Amino acid sequence: MSTDQTATPSPGPASLLPDTLRAALDRAGVDALWVSSPENIRYLSGFTSGRDARLLLSAQPTLYTDARYTVQAQEESRFPSFIARPPATLAHAAPAVEGLRVGFEADHLTVAELERLRAHWQAGERPATLVSTSRVIDTLRQVKTPDEVARVRAAQALADEAFAAVRPFIAAGVRESDVAARLEGFMRERGAGSAFGITVASGPRGAMPHGTASARVIGNDELVTVDFGALLDGYHSDMTRTVAVGNPSEELRRLYRAVLEAEEAAVAAVRPGATGGELDAVARDLLGAHGLAEAFAHSLGHGVGLAVHEGPSLRAASADVLVPGMIVTVEPGVYVPGVGGVRIEDLILVTEDGHEVLSRSAKELL
């Protein structure tokens, strides 16, 4: 295995670390941070192949990746890059972390990699102190810049276009997998990918919140839940619509109306200062009034951006406070085994005076 190494010229003695990042490290009680989350690497450095990279966030940040990405790192990374494979990368970083408290992302770093860090950074006369951290950068990512908002908005607009194109195709006799394929094909033809495995859950399969599209043929008089999003220029969208095929039963209609009421009430409550727990309670209490509290089997929503699931959290125990610039989903659902299920999801931008609904696809009127 080659260990050829290339380092870009040093930018000089001045620190490359902005004040906001330095403050985040100070709050975490560390001098530097070894970043392993692909989303955080892209957010900090601009490098788009974060799965094959690491970033030492310090007074002189350095991106570490291998020779497959030499040109890409030079073109994309706002920080100097060092091109090699472990253990050469860890040896190169060792002098920079001597005697420092170095945080690692406990939610992302493997145990094996942590052991390698210990072997290379804690063996000298001035060993680094390795500190477990959580959400140091993830918390910063919760509030989107205007450019990030524009990218999520574009991804959602494409998802809305895809749904409008495919909605007439959702009919009795069509396989769930064919609906998913058309959605994904529409997005790929326009330069995007699927944000996650597309859910198309019809009839009794609607009782599965993550019912990935199967070979099941959609029947008449059923509800079909479609959960998908676009991945465009690194940013995700996320939406769910439950649609009617034929003439669903009154019980299915009742479930739909209850979820729609809860979803619209929770969306209306999105504003700066609201907590994730408060918003979850709005939807959960309304569904409880319909006798469906136990059928609401997941949290109300989550943040969306470089990851399709990120902070803030909209769940019962969440103390996360919404502020302008956050983008969240609102997606109550009910799931009744043997009967079916309903979920309706909108993508919401928190604004200075309330919110903006980014998802524009129409909702069924049952």
Examine the domain organization and report whether 213 and 290 are in the same domain. Answer: yes
Examine the domain organization and report whether 343 and 229 are in the same domain. Answer: yes
Examine the domain organization and report whether 155 and 132 are in the same domain. Answer: no
The CATH number of residue 206's host domain is 3.90.230.10
Q: What is the CA radius of gyration of the chain?
A: 23
Residue 176 near residue 202 (C-beta atoms within 8 A): yes
Mean confidence (pLDDT) of the chain: 95
pLDDT mean over 23-50: 97
Task: Among 122, 141, 160, give the residue marking a domain's end.
Answer: 141
pLDDT at 6: 55
Q: Cis peptide leading into 312, omega within 30 of 0?
A: yes
Q: Is a pLDDT exceeding 80 seen at residue 15?
A: no
For residue range 127-156, what is the model confidence (pLDDT) as tens digits?
A: 999 999 999 999 999 999 999 999 999 999
Neighbour-count burial of 255, counting CB atoms closer than 10 A to its CB (0-12 exposed, 13-18 middle, 19+ buried): buried
276 in a domain, yes or no? yes
pLDDT mean over 2-14: 44
Examine the domain organization and report whether 111 and 249 are in the same domain. Answer: no
Task: Among 88, 122, 141, give the residue marking a domain's end.
Answer: 141
Examine the domain organization and report whether 59 and 150 are in the same domain. Answer: no
The three state secondary structure string of 57-72 is: ECCCCEEEECHHHHHH
pTM of the model: 0.94
Q: CA-to-CA distance for 162 and 154, rounded, in angstroms?
A: 12
Distance of CA 117 to the CA centre of its chain: 28
- Please choose, from the candidates 93, 101, 99, the residue with its C-alpha nearest in 3D space to the C-alpha of residue 120: 93
Q: How many domains does the chain have?
A: 2
Helix (H, G, I), strand (E, B) or coil at 131: strand
pLDDT at 9: 40
- For the stretch 166-200, what's the b/e string if a residue is b when 16 or more beta carbons lie within 10 angstroms of its beta carbon? bbeebeeebbbbbbbebbbebbeeeebebbbebbb
pLDDT mean over 329-346: 98
pLDDT mean over 74-100: 96
273 in a domain, yes or no? yes
Q: Is a pLDDT exceeding 70 seen at residue 12?
A: no
Examine the domain organization and report whether 88 and 177 are in the same domain. Answer: no
pLDDT mean over 232-249: 98
Residue 67 near residue 7 (C-beta atoms within 8 A): no
363 in a domain, yes or no? no
Examine the domain organization and report whether 184 and 134 are in the same domain. Answer: no
Examine the domain organization and report whether 184 and 136 are in the same domain. Answer: no
pLDDT at 138: 97
Residue 238 near residue 329 (C-beta atoms within 8 A): yes
- One DSSP character per residue, 162-194 reads HHHHHGGG--TT-BHHHHHHHHHHHHHHTT-EE
Which domain, by its residues, includes 223? Answer: 146-357
- Percent above pLDDT 70 for the chain: 96
Task: Among 141, 176, 202, give the residue marking a domain's end.
Answer: 141
pLDDT band at 14 (very low <50, low <70, confident <90, very high): very low
pLDDT band at 17 (very low <50, low <70, confident <90, very high): confident
Q: Is a pLDDT exceeding 70 seen at residue 1?
A: no
- Please choose, from the candidates 67, 62, 40, the residue with its C-alpha nearest in 3D space to the C-alpha of residue 51: 40
Q: What's the half-sphere exposure (Cβ side, CA atoms, 13 Å) at 52?
A: 13
Examine the domain organization and report whether 331 and 228 are in the same domain. Answer: yes
Q: Which amino acid is present at 160?
A: D
364 in a domain, yes or no? no
